[in-house]
Amino acid sequence: MPAVIEYPDKGEDTMELIRIPRIMQDTCRKHLQKGRSIGFVPTMGALHDGHLSLIRRAKSENDIVVASIFVNPLQFGPSEDFASYPRVIDEDTIKLRELGIDVIFIPDNSLMYPPGFSTYIDAGPVSEKLCGQFRPGHFRGVATVVAKLLNLISPTRAYFGRKDFQQTVVIRRMTRDLDINTEIVVCPTIREEDGLAMSSRNRYLSAGERAAATVLFRAMSTVSDGLQAGGTSISELKKNLISEISKEGLITSIDYASIYNPETLEEIKESGQLKEVLVAVAVRMGKTRLIDNLIVNLT
List the catalytic residues: 51
Nearer to a second copy, 127 or 200 (CB): 127
Do 87 and 45 contact (CB within 8 A), yes or no?
A: yes
- Beta carbon of residue 175, minimum distance to a second copy (angstroms, whole number): 9
Contact (CB, 8 A) for 46 and 88: yes
Shortest distance, CB of residue 84 to a second copy, whole angstroms?
27
Q: Please, which residue, 67 or 257, has the CB nearer to a second copy?
A: 67
Distance CA 71, CA 73 (A): 6
Tell the smallest beta-carbon distance from residue 180 to a second copy (Å): 5
| Number of C-beta neighbours around residue 260 at 10 A | 21
Closest CA to 61 of 183, 188, 198: 183
Whole-angstrom distance, CA of residue 227 vs CA of residue 225: 5
* Nearest residue (CB) to a second copy, 32 versus 274: 32
In the bound state with a second copy, the residue whose beta carbon lies nearer, of 29 and 269, is 29
160 in Cβ contact with 184 (< 8 Å): yes
Q: CB 165 → a second copy: shortest distance, Å?
A: 18
Nearer to a second copy, 68 or 93 (CB): 68
In whole angstroms, the minimum distance from the beta carbon of 152 to a second copy comes to 5
CA distance 88 to 93: 9
Q: What letter represents residue 185's amino acid?
A: V
d(CA 49, CA 198): 7
Name the residues that contact a second copy, by CB under 8 A. Answer: 21, 25, 29, 32-33, 35, 116-126, 143-144, 147-148, 151-152, 154, 173-174, 177-181
Helix (H, G, I), strand (E, B) or coil at 18: strand
CA pair distance 128, 126, nearest whole angstrom: 6
